[in-house]
Structure 1
Amino acid sequence: MKRYKEYYVPIFFFILSILGIIAAKVGFNFILGELYARFIRNGIFLLALIFPIMAGMGINFSITIGAIAAQISMLIVIDIGFTPGLGSIIVILLSVVLSIVFGNMIGTLLNRAKGKEMIASMVIGFLGTSLYQIVFMVAYGTIIKPFNEDILLTRGIGVKSMLDIGEYKNLFSNMLPIKIGNIEGSLVPIIIIIIIGTVVHFITKSKIGYRMNAVGENMYLAEKVGIHVDKTRKMAVIMSTILASLAQIMFIQNLGILNVYTGHLNLDVFSSAALLAGGATFKKVNIRNAFIGIFLFHTLFIVSPLAGQNIFKNPALGEYFRSFIAYGTIVFALMINLKNLEEAKDH
């Protein structure tokens, strides 16, 4: 039975998903279409959480900073007025540069908070959000003069809360078109996510991955064999931040709308919950957990409001199911992880 413990959480969510589909009374095509959209929008976010867990830092809730880097880059490109083709390239390059800078800062802070990385990363995410919102609510239009004043609020200070980027949404519309469920889309975003997932997999099996695993297992012994612990941990955070920024670019592009102040919120919680639903723990994770988790968690996330509405005959209660599922996943996985750790110590 011990060898199957890692499957307890995925099995639990698989059963919940089946029950949710039955209660929601929705068609298979509807679920497939929604899963396609959510896979594109959230797939890379789960991959961004892998490296810090390997390095023994737990869940990196500061991936919101990577998403902020992507939003800053997109805002700059929209402000200057680049064409969608050139703009996409500039957004990616600028996001990576900003993510390296921010990732270095986050890594340095988390190295000073060894043993408390998850709480520290959560606080860093909140702080980064506050600073980002202050810049674009107050500084933009006063200290920072925009190229395109149409993105500002009518008072001339602060960026509008929502910007239309429909031109970016149509970038892949005519490339490898497919129809999944009720949604027509492109195969290109799926290919991009699979390629990034393959790269992440190879990194986990490389020397860098070996060093991260060694640091995650025992920092003291890793240092004894010549591994630079702080540098390895910082590298894990930088790569996590870069992946999060690329994930947010995919999210924004697929949505076709940039929610300036709220577009990055809660993605850390939902991504963490999905990864844990896939069987990951705070100490052990792999690519399989990410891809299993995104389908299990988001299937339940899709059907839970409708299931709640049908069961309780109240639409408002259905929406509360989403938050309950997300936070409940983390609590449930935490309980399972703690229980497994206690049993491991006893043996």
Structure 2
Amino acid sequence: MKEKNKKIEGNRILEFAGNNSVPIMFVIICAVCIPVSGFSPGYLLNEIMTRLGRNAFLILSLLIPIMAGMGLNFGMTLGAMAGQIGLIFAADWQIWGIPGMVLAMIISIPISILLGIFCGKMLNMAKGREMITSYIISFFMNGIYQMVVLYMMGPVIPIIHSSIKLPRGYGVRNTVSLLHMRQSLDNLLAIHIGGVKIPVLTLIVIGLMCLFIVWFRKTKLGQDMRAVGQDMDVAGDAGIKVERTRIIAIVMSTVCAGIGMVIYLQNMGNISTYSSHTQIGMFCIAALLVGGASVDRASIGNVFLGVILFHLMFIVAPSTGAKITGDSMIGEYFRVFISYGVITLALIMYETKKRRAKSKAGQVLKLAQGEEEEN
């Protein structure tokens, strides 16, 4: 009996390790790198709190499409572009602080809705291939965004401030300063505990987003999305408008990504006009996967665990690389390699599990058919 219990417990441990291999791997990497990096606990806590406030809202925007069975939404980059356009207008009109952020969010919402509808309709034409399709859509829309910002802002879309325009008289500069808006949300109601700055208002906004997701899952639309995520055919037979539901999921994700990008950039204090949005989807998805999420399952807990582990590795890797090899660039290469590697590993593991589940289901079906024939 004892041996049987030990075997069951051993199988549970192996199953847990298999299901959470990516977070466990990152815990080990961080445990090794932290002592070598030489950073103090206070510095690390301060950096993690800053990055939690900066990135959490963006990563939360990925949860709704996963719930609707559309996988990891690489198309969140479209929302990031909308957020940047909103901030460019706020900077041009010289509206700073919280009012400037609110204005940027208001401008980003209709742009995000239009882009989300376009993306959702494209993904409905590519059912089962949503992730790669959304990835390519983000590249396509990046070209249009660059055309708008580089050539249309000035001649077609009025830009007042010369500090934002390129010297030739049209197009937006490579970097737009948000110095007068920098950390305006983070500093409001901020408290300091033991040298660690806690951006209370930013965390309240993130908390409200979490509560919204918890509430939304219980609504009729949320239940419809979960049903669509489990089986589109069954959901369609139950009277759910599958394609419309999927479009709504992408629109909601894109709008939240636009708002999240405004929060992200006010923390940074400037906009890299042509590059800020390009890697945002990749890093957010990598952080979510590091937290233990998969293509078809993700929770709010995965978001926060992912931000802590992924960004802790980002903080300590360059210093660790410099201490071990004498070259800090090794750490930079390592963290970029890890971010792409995590996505690859998670997708391979998801596909492997899916095939195993299909194989087991096939074996069970064969056994059931064999028993029926014998009877």
- Smaller-chain TM-score bracket: over 0.9
**Among residues 303, 317, 320, which one is paired with 1:290 in the alignment?**
303
Query: What residue is the counterpart of 2:313 in the other structure?
Result: 300
Matched, 1:135 2:148: yes
For residues 135-190 of structure 1, what are the alpha-carbon distances to aligned partners after superposition, in whole Å with 9 as ceiling and x for unaligned?
Answer: 11122223333222221111212111112112212534653222367554531111
TM-score of the aligned structures, taking structure 2 as reference length: 0.88
Q: Is the 8 A contact 2:186 2:201 kept in 1?
A: no
Worse-superposed segment, 20-29 or 208-217: 20-29
Query: What residue is the counterpart of 2:366 in the other structure?
Result: none
Residue 339 (structure 1) shift? 2.5
Query: What residue is the counterpart of 1:216 in the other structure?
Result: 229
Matched, 1:26 2:39: yes
Amino acid at match of 1:9: V
Q: Is the 8 A contact 2:177 2:271 kept in 1?
A: yes
Query: What residue is the counterpart of 2:255 in the other structure?
Result: 242
Matched, 1:50 2:60: no
- Write the distance in 2 (CA, Å) between the matches of 1:60 and 1:279: 16
- Write the distance in 1 (CA, Å) between the matches of 2:102 and 2:196: 27
**Among residues 102, 107, 121, which one is paired with 1:94 in the alignment?**
107
For residues 256-292 of structure 1, what are the alpha-carbon distances to aligned partners after superposition, in whole Å with 9 as ceiling and x for unaligned?
Answer: 1122111112111111111111111111111111111
- SS of the aligned residue for 1:281 comes to coil
**Among residues 90, 110, 124, which one is paired with 2:137 in the alignment?**
124
**Among residues 210, 215, 223, which one is paired with 1:202 in the alignment?**
215
Q: Is the 8 A contact 1:52 1:237 kept in 2?
A: yes
* Distance change >3 Å, CA 174–CA 230, structure 1 → 2: closer
How many equivalent pairs are there? 347
Query: What residue is the counterpart of 1:7 in the other structure?
Result: 20
Query: What residue is the counterpart of 1:169 in the other structure?
Result: 182
Q: Is the 8 A contact 2:113 2:255 kept in 1?
A: yes
* Distance change >3 Å, CA 180–CA 238, structure 1 → 2: farther
- SS of the aligned residue for 2:271 comes to strand
Q: Is the 8 A contact 2:154 2:165 kept in 1?
A: yes
Q: Is the 8 A contact 1:45 1:271 kept in 2?
A: yes
- Write the distance in 1 (CA, Å) between the matches of 2:193 and 2:205: 17
Query: What residue is the counterpart of 2:364 in the other structure?
Result: none
Q: Is the 8 A contact 1:32 1:180 kept in 2?
A: no
- SS of the aligned residue for 2:35 comes to helix
Matched, 1:265 2:278: yes
Amino acid at match of 2:327: N
Residue 88 (structure 1) shift? 2.4
Amino acid at match of 1:36: M
- SS of the aligned residue for 2:315 comes to helix
* Distance change >3 Å, CA 173–CA 246, structure 1 → 2: closer
Amino acid at match of 1:91: A
- SS of the aligned residue for 2:335 comes to helix
Query: What residue is the counterpart of 1:72 in the other structure?
Result: 85
Q: CA RMSD in A?
A: 1.8
Residue 83 (structure 1) shift? 4.5
For residues 179-227 of structure 1, what are the alpha-carbon distances to aligned partners after superposition, in whole Å with 9 as ceiling and x for unaligned?
Answer: 3675545311111111111211221232222111111111111100111
Amino acid at match of 1:57: M
Query: What residue is the counterpart of 1:113 in the other structure?
Result: 126
- SS of the aligned residue for 1:147 comes to coil
Matched, 1:84 2:104: no
Name stretches of at least 5 consecutive residues in structure 2 with no aligned partner.
1-10, 361-375
Query: What residue is the counterpart of 2:340 in the other structure?
Result: 327
Q: Is the 8 A contact 1:51 1:239 kept in 2?
A: yes
Worse-superposed segment, 143-152 or 40-49: 143-152
- Write the distance in 2 (CA, Å) between the matches of 1:154 and 1:99: 30
* Distance change >3 Å, CA 170–CA 40, structure 1 → 2: closer
The structure whose Rg is larger is: 2
- Write the distance in 1 (CA, Å) between the matches of 2:276 and 2:206: 20
Query: What residue is the counterpart of 2:329 in the other structure?
Result: 316
Residue 37 (structure 1) shift? 1.5
Worse-superposed segment, 183-192 or 159-168: 183-192
- Write the distance in 2 (CA, Å) between the matches of 1:46 and 1:173: 18
